[in-house]
Structure 1
Amino acid sequence: MSDVVLVDLLVVALAFLAFSTLYSRGKQKQLPFPPGPKRLPVVGNLFDMPAGSDWITYTRWGKLYGSDVLHVDVVGMHVVVLNSVKAANELLEKRSSVYSDRPAMKAFTTLISIDWSAALEPYGTRWRGWRKSFHENLHPAAASEYHPLEVKAARVLLRNLLEAPEGFYEHLRHMTGRIILSVAYGIDAKESDDYFISLAKQALDIVATATEKGRLLNLIPALIHFPSWFPGVGFKKEAASWARSMKAIVDEPYAAARKLMNNGDATPCVASTMISKLDGVTPEGESHVKAVTAEMCLGKDQTASALQSFVLAMVLYPEAQQKAQEEIDAASLPYLSALCQEVLRWHPVAPLGIPHRLTSDDVYDGHFLPAGSTVIANAWAMLHDETLFPEPEKFKPERFLGPMTKCPDAAFGFGRRTCPGRFMARSSLWIGVASILAAFKISPKLDEHGQPILPEEKFDTGLIAFPAPFPCDIHPRTRNAEKLVRDSLI
């Protein structure tokens, strides 16, 4: 394709988007868009869009423009940001019939071979089938059946922390990986350096990188036809290797689960449960099981992120750790549960979640929301709302011991797109936190002068926000605790 044709394609794409903007404005019926940054002709707010930690920028804009709903125009594509639980409940929950779609990402998902992901799938028949399977296998009663597997993974975590505390960052991801492999596939992962856990980590890293690099492609799908040297699609050079890795996470753990079943060694898990319900394993049925179980692998890092935030909080807020441990010693656990709620609020694992798509024109609070808008639920803003959470920047588990006894589910999404694995995620977090606090004390590293090194609250800017690596000291609370950890897996 010649450079002239490429330029012509881009001009046509921009012209089409500009026309779409004018057309949607013509349908406004005199109602304004929600407030937001001033737009430039054609490109709109393209140059205003944040390059990282978007949730912070959107929260600041909400305060600047005095609105819990914002409108941003990116080359004719409408983006609506919801900064309050009230707005999210009204639109994503009460009007879920028109807010449950996903933005068109076909070019992106096909390019990296992740078109099997229910989280990214447009609202429709295939998605409803996947969602039904998630509910059947991960509803509260079903999730409770996996508690023994979560406890076993937590014991391995404690052993790893005892033997190599400096590797806590990866030990936490390993714990959540063990849980998902056993729950989804019946695979008993190795205590360290497990192939399937590494495979899942690689897939998750690819999704995070590709999501960040593929922003412009999702806004202008026509860019898929442009060469990799063109701005915004440079990641196409890496897409082929990414696609191979994404195919591996779908096929290889599933093949291992089938082998366990064929050998009579399978334990109860999602894969074996779903396969047993099939009247013969058709290609369509097999693809369905593969999609559901692989999606579970992609969801494991939300719990890992929460556990890493917990460790960071314990370093920065030792008084919270002390209260929780005193409660554990007394076998009374309301504060521990409140602490887990506060972890999810303090630094939500997915600050912006995955965008929704509005399928028909709508009106909210006197503002026009055009069909086709990308709708972002800013969980960070909701969970740092000063009217709901005084001093929101501080880690204060006590806030969940009063009238507000449960963290709003903003941490897990809204409406028909709420995370189906949230019940297991909450229990895995609780079991991990309780196990660590029962056995270990977490404290800051000391510098050469014996002064504590307090880490900054820095987080990655991907779909899932992990704390940036930080140093800390993790050691057994008592000799008896150390012995219990050593003996727990014998």
Structure 2
Amino acid sequence: MVLNIARYDFLLVAVVGFSGLALLVTRACKRRLPYPPGPTSFPVVGNLFSMPSREEWVTYKKWSEELGSDIIHAEVMGSHIVILNSIKAANELLDKRSSIYSDRPPLVAIRELFGMDYNIALVRYGTAWRHSRREFQANFGPADLEAYQPLEQRAVHCLLRNLLLSPDNFMQHLRHMAGQVILSIAYGIDVLPENDPYVADAENVMNAFAFSTTKEALLLDLIPWLIKMPSWFPGARYKKFARKWYPIVVGAVKTTNDKVKSELATGTAAPSVAAKLISKLDEDSTEEEIWVARAVPGSMYLAGADTTVSVLQTFILAMILYPEVQQKAQSEIDRVVGKSRLPDFSDQDALPYVQAVLKEVLRWHPVAPLGGPRKVVVSDIYEGYYIPAGSTIIPNAWGMMHDPAVFAEPDRFYPERWLSPDAPAFPHQAFGFGSRQCPGRVLARASIWSNIVGILAAFDVTPTKDGPPEEAYSSGLVSYVKPFRCNILPRSAVAASLVRATESEG
């Protein structure tokens, strides 16, 4: 994520003279152990010009293979970056040594310039982060997750109806479904079937989040003085977009939060995470408690929907490229559920192949291919290599999930790998590492499963007459399939009638 750096953006940056002298002095620091291996570095600019501009995760895995190391070091304008390319390295550093690897880089552009300061996934390690995470987990226990199932099911059925009516707009329908679930759980908002203003705000927030994690915005953590540059300066164009997105993001969070406050005052608030947290506040509440009450539902709103949308896009792409998988999953559903009803959560344990499809979707292309960046707070040593304090740590989740030593034929979409007696463990790396692992991952898995099984039961997903789409993804913290077209048709007249019958749910 942090290293999505295009060369043209740095032509002027690389020749700024005053930086050169300072960086040369910095590089002269004394240390006894070597940095991890990495690509050839040059004075002042370091690895600036060898950084990939797209599909960074592929390049980092290639470096790891060429250098024979599961940990890679790079340097950009004096900032150290360490890339982890194996599950072993990630477990050792991010899990076992989480006390020094749980911090985030400042992420100034995302948190401050784009208004994402209420996203607890991006907050620096400290008391506010720990407090907000505890409150988040308190709202996603087993009883809570079971209580959320009916609204998740309604959202899936709404998605199926929308796919039946206008299948060409499937990307938009996925976003609506994800927004519907998040808004209901976080704020108790019952959205309209279409053209809902809150869903529109949620989509705007998703777009802002996607842009705020591109190279222009994330350069601030590598080259902090860029924030003082005008927007026309190479590498500083993000400032123009930040001026556009900041009021949209902040306004969206404020609008939903104020709505719940108003409803609590009149006794009309629906059950929600926000209502539960806001109702606990009083005149003696601390600033941190007030922040947490806004940050927990705000985090769901600011980033929660992205995970579901990205995974389901990958699922649809995989079904087009691997029709035999789709047919096998549909056969299992027909055998277990039958064709006289749509599947629901009670069928989950009886559909092991569908579960395997879910696991393979998460492995084949992780939502966050480069995980979330970390910052190591003190210098450390791993396998004889020196990791300087303050280094940005990039866990290459995609590289880990495509390690042939762990996953045979890693580029192949093959759910059967999860059904063998010696199957690898569930791909938890898709949801992060250690104490920074996504606190809403169990809810996300449930929502993704219900959508996958619903689509498989009701529809056939096939390529258009132009052929199957390209397997291509965007860069950024959350990676999306690049737009593509496909055919989504009901499997039968009976399947179509079952989908229409869900209209009575409201």
Looking at structure 2, the residues matched to 338 and 405 of structure 1 have their Cα atoms a distance apart, in angstroms, of 11
Q: 1:259 corresponds to which residue?
A: 262
> 1:115: how far off?
2.5
Asked if 1:419 corresponds to 2:438, the answer is: yes
Q: 1:433 corresponds to which residue?
A: 452
Runs of 4 or more above 4 Å deviation: 9-14, 280-283
Asked if 1:164 corresponds to 2:166, the answer is: yes
| Distance 1:190-1:280 versus aligned 2 partners, 3 A rule | farther
Deviates more, 1:339-348 or 1:323-332: 323-332
Question: After superposition, where does 1:292-371 map in structure 2 within 5 Å?
Answer: 292-297=296-301, 298-331=303-336, 332-371=350-389
What amino acid does structure 2 have at the position aligned with 1:459? Y
Looking at structure 1, the residues matched to 234 and 444 of structure 2 have their Cα atoms a distance apart, in angstroms, of 38
> 1:249: how far off?
2.2
Identity %: 48
Looking at structure 2, the residues matched to 137 and 21 of structure 1 have their Cα atoms a distance apart, in angstroms, of 47
Looking at structure 2, the residues matched to 139 and 372 of structure 1 have their Cα atoms a distance apart, in angstroms, of 35
Match of residue 476, structure 1, among 479, 485, 490: 490
What amino acid does structure 1 have at the position aligned with 2:478? I
Looking at structure 1, the residues matched to 212 and 21 of structure 2 have their Cα atoms a distance apart, in angstroms, of 27
Q: What residue ranges of structure 1 are gaps of 5+ in the alignment?
A: 1-5, 448-452
Looking at structure 1, the residues matched to 173 and 260 of structure 2 have their Cα atoms a distance apart, in angstroms, of 24
Deviations 1:462-488 (A, max 9, x none): 211111111111111121111111111
Deviations 1:52-74 (A, max 9, x none): 21111111111111111000011
Looking at structure 1, the residues matched to 433 and 24 of structure 2 have their Cα atoms a distance apart, in angstroms, of 31
What amino acid does structure 2 have at the position aligned with 1:291? A
> 1:267: how far off?
2.6
Match of residue 460, structure 1, among 474, 482, 499: 474
Q: Secondary structure of 2:411's match?
A: coil
Looking at structure 2, the residues matched to 72 and 269 of structure 1 have their Cα atoms a distance apart, in angstroms, of 44
Deviates more, 1:261-270 or 1:9-18: 9-18
Deviations 1:262-295 (A, max 9, x none): 3433332111121233345858344322221111
Q: 1:450 corresponds to which residue?
A: none
Deviations 1:340-389 (A, max 9, x none): 00000011111012100011111111111111110000000000111111
| Distance 1:382-1:319 versus aligned 2 partners, 3 A rule | same
Question: Structure 1-normalised TM-score?
Answer: 0.93
| Distance 1:295-1:37 versus aligned 2 partners, 3 A rule | same
Match of residue 72, structure 1, among 74, 77, 100: 74
> Any conservation in 2 of the 1:275–1:281 contact (CA below 8 Å)?
no
Q: Secondary structure of 1:78's match?
A: strand
Count of matched residue pairs: 475
> Any conservation in 2 of the 1:187–1:256 contact (CA below 8 Å)?
no
What amino acid does structure 1 have at the position aligned with 2:252? I
Asked if 1:392 corresponds to 2:380, the answer is: no
What amino acid does structure 1 have at the position aligned with 2:370? L
Looking at structure 2, the residues matched to 108 and 148 of structure 1 have their Cα atoms a distance apart, in angstroms, of 34
Question: After superposition, where does 1:76-87 map in structure 2 within 5 Å?
Answer: 76-87=78-89
- Aligned-residue CA RMSD (Å): 1.9
Looking at structure 1, the residues matched to 128 and 484 of structure 2 have their Cα atoms a distance apart, in angstroms, of 42
Deviates more, 1:73-82 or 1:323-332: 323-332
Match of residue 91, structure 1, among 90, 93, 99: 93
Q: What residue ranges of structure 2 are gaps of 5+ in the alignment?
A: 1-11, 337-349
Q: Secondary structure of 1:368's match?
A: strand
Question: Structure 2-normalised TM-score?
Answer: 0.90
Q: Secondary structure of 1:257's match?
A: helix
What amino acid does structure 1 have at the position aligned with 2:244? S
> Any conservation in 2 of the 1:250–1:291 contact (CA below 8 Å)?
no
Deviations 1:222-241 (A, max 9, x none): 22112222211122123222
